[in-house]
Amino acid sequence: MPSLNTKILIWKAKTSSEKLALKLIEILKKSGFIKTYIVGGYVRDLFLKRKETGAIDLASEARPEQVTAILRRKGFSVIPTGLKHGTVTVHKNGLDVEITTFRKEGKYPDFRRPEKVSYIKDPAADSSRRDFTINALYFDPKKSEVTDYQGGISDLSKKVLRFVGSAATRIYEDPLRLMRAVRFATVLGFKLSQKDQKIIKRNSALISKISAERVKAELDKIMLSQNRSSGLRLLREISILKQVLPEVELLAKTRQSKNYHSEGDVFTHTLLGLSKIEKSADLKTLYGLLFHDAGKAQTLQWIKKHGRSHSTFYGHQQVGEELAKKAMKRLRFSKAEITDIAWYVKNHHVPYELSKMRKSKQMGWCLDPRFENLLKLYRADSLSSIPTDAKGKKLKPSLKSYNFSTETLKAAKSKKVLRQKIVSGNDVMKILKIGAGPEVGRVLNQLRDLQLGGKIKTKKEALEYLKKNS
């Protein structure tokens, strides 16, 4: 075990959660349980001066039944949320604080929870069961003192993520720590220790022991980080990506012609796009960008054109859509997520084609509430597609189609375009005396174009137009 280290941390309870945590510590200390601390991610985030600190958790020498009895006498609601493992949750005024008794743990037969725990009085021993050194800090706000038993303060200063004790043991206890390691490294901008990286890679297959829902929860956090590209690259380097998203892993082996994609293979292109997408992009748009070229691995063909080799990926949108659906179902995405993300994948080329469409079809796309997010995806895709000239010189990415699509969307919004057609197919068939078929659709589109152009404003005008031109 690293040598004991203590550090003074100036702290004042400001938020309601902090004030509640401080109150609970004061009560337990006055009741004789001097060894009661704030632990975990909250302390880590204080050191890093992060604006968004983690939930406030407490660790104490007091046993769960003692914590419960003392705090209930003081009027607190205490819920036995994890009593088997020494955890109770204190609830007051809509706030929750978990309090866990110092413990030693037995084996993890289900790769998630220990089969038994033993309560102890020693915080140093308690720290040895935690996941990462930077999460094993014990803060006494009454003394303004942080006690570090695992070298976490040093790792914080070096921006290194390191497992407590044996990395292999920590991973075997809960293989989700494979994903958590990448998530923390990504979100915090830390490096995984070289030693731990090797051990993670050797044990990467253990991720199969973890439920899809838990894996997705960690993947979501990686994707929402501004360092998401680094996180995905790390997942690949330590052999986790091929376990979780083999469809994306294959893109690293999918080459592209340099005349259109001098940035490199499809995986490199995708990561570049994820680094350039607007900060306002939501999770579904981010996943849409992650999967947008998933179909290229299966549709790659090389052709000769003007003396140069060109890669083609005809139909990759449709293939990618199905691959994305398969991956998302495997990871237990919701139906709403699958529907929208698959739509982004299938239609990610639409902004490129928009200028060639008739007016009514352009407006139809603009009226889809997802189109604005699709433009965010397309812009990132465009910025990460770096062409070259005949001499191999890199050129600036083109935003011509994106700019056109953006202006078209603005125009659609400013005109307050009607969402409903003026006339129905039955109206057309009745006046033109024709049956159902392609001709009805052609006429409806024609009327829609006239409506959008301001030449027809009412149903009466549309019907008169039909009669005159029948």
pLDDT one-digit tens code per residue, 300-356 = 999 987 777 889 999 999 999 999 999 999 999 999 999 999 999 999 999 999 999
Which CATH code fits 262-415? 1.10.3210
Rounded distance, CA 354 to CA 364, Å?
A: 11
Q: Looking at residues 176-194, what average pLDDT do you find? A: 97
- Which helix or strand (DSSP H or E) is residue 99 part of? strand 95-101
**What are the domain boundaries of the chain?**
5-158, 167-244, 262-415, 425-468
Q: Looking at residues 412-436, what average pLDDT do you find? A: 77
Task: Pull the structure tokens for residue 11.
Answer: 């702290």
- Identify whether the C-beta of residue 151 lies closer than 8 Å to the C-beta of residue 2: yes
Q: Looking at residues 264-289, what average pLDDT do you find? A: 97
Q: Looking at residues 431-438, what average pLDDT do you find? A: 86
Rounded distance, CA 177 to CA 170, Å?
A: 7
Q: Looking at residues 365-378, what average pLDDT do you find? A: 94
- Identify whether the C-beta of residue 299 lies closer than 8 Å to the C-beta of residue 321: no
Residue 112 has pLDDT above 90, yes or no: no
Q: Is 301 exposed, middle or buried (0-12, 13-18, 19+ CB in 10 A)?
A: exposed
User: What confidence score (pLDDT) does residue 450 get?
Assistant: 80
Rounded distance, CA 322 to CA 316, Å?
A: 10
User: What confidence score (pLDDT) does residue 255 get?
Assistant: 94
User: What confidence score (pLDDT) does residue 416 get?
Assistant: 57
- Which helix or strand (DSSP H or E) is residue 8 part of? strand 5-8
| pLDDT 10s digits, 210-255 | 999 999 999 999 999 999 999 999 999 999 999 999 999 999 999 9
Report the candidate in 211, 235, 335 with the shortest Cα–Cα distance to residue 284. Answer: 335
Q: How many helices (H) and strands (E) does the chain have?
A: 24, 14
Q: Looking at residues 444-456, what average pLDDT do you find? A: 78
- What do you get for the CA distance between the two ends of the chain, in Å? 90
Task: Pull the structure tokens for residue 257.
Answer: 């012609």
What architecture is domain 5-158?
2-Layer Sandwich (3.30)
Q: Which residue has the tokens 């998530």?
A: 183
Q: Looking at residues 182-202, what average pLDDT do you find? A: 97
Residue 123 has a CB neighbour count (10 Å cut-off) of 19
- Identify whether the C-beta of residue 263 lies closer than 8 Å to the C-beta of residue 386: yes
User: What confidence score (pLDDT) does residue 415 get?
Assistant: 66
Please provide the average confidence, as pLDDT, over all residues in the chain.
92
pLDDT category, 60, cuts 50, 70, 90? very high
User: What confidence score (pLDDT) does residue 259 get?
Assistant: 85
Domain pair 5-158 / 167-244, same fold: no
Residue 149 has pLDDT above 90, yes or no: yes
User: What confidence score (pLDDT) does residue 82 get?
Assistant: 82
How many Cα atoms occupy the beta-carbon half-sphere of 332 within 13 Å? Answer: 10
Name the residue with higher pLDDT: 402 or 361: 402
Determine what percent of the chain falls in helix, strand and coil, rounding each to the nearest 5: 55, 15, 35
Q: Looking at residues 91-115, what average pLDDT do you find? A: 86
Residue 185 has pLDDT above 70, yes or no: yes
Rounded distance, CA 377 to CA 348, Å?
A: 7
- Rounded (5°) CA angle 379-385-388: 140
pLDDT category, 417, cuts 50, 70, 90? low
Rounded distance, CA 194 to CA 192, Å?
A: 6
User: What confidence score (pLDDT) does residue 113 get?
Assistant: 74
CATH topology assigned to domain 167-244: Hydrophobic Seed Protein (1.10.110)
Residue 304 has a CB neighbour count (10 Å cut-off) of 8
Residue 406 has a CB neighbour count (10 Å cut-off) of 16
CB-based contacts of 315: which residues, under 8 Å, 6+ apart? Answer: 295, 299
Residue 1 has pLDDT above 60, yes or no: no
pLDDT category, 419, cuts 50, 70, 90? low
- Rounded (5°) CA angle 278-53-36: 165
Q: Using H for helix, E for strand and C for coil, what is the string for 173-184?
A: HCCHHHHHHHHH
User: What confidence score (pLDDT) does residue 402 get?
Assistant: 98
User: What confidence score (pLDDT) does residue 289 get?
Assistant: 98
| pLDDT 10s digits, 7-51 | 888 899 999 999 999 999 999 999 999 999 999 999 999 999 998
CB-based contacts of 188: which residues, under 8 Å, 6+ apart? Answer: 48, 159, 161
Rounded distance, CA 247 to CA 294, Å?
A: 6
To the nearest whole percent, how much of the chain has pLDDT over 90? 74
Q: Looking at residues 289-303, what average pLDDT do you find? A: 96
User: What confidence score (pLDDT) does residue 308 get?
Assistant: 75
Rg (CA), the chain: 29
For the ranges 281-285, 331-335, 355-359, the lowest mean pLDDT is seen at: 355-359
Strand intervals (E) in 102-218: 103-105, 117-119, 137-140, 145-148, 160-161, 191-192
- Identify whether the C-beta of residue 341 lies closer than 8 Å to the C-beta of residue 229: no
Rounded distance, CA 197 to CA 178, Å?
A: 10
User: What confidence score (pLDDT) does residue 243 get?
Assistant: 96
Rounded distance, CA 102 to CA 129, Å?
A: 10
Q: Looking at residues 262-275, what average pLDDT do you find? A: 96
Torsion from C-alpha of 151, 156, 159, 163, nearest 10 degrees: 40
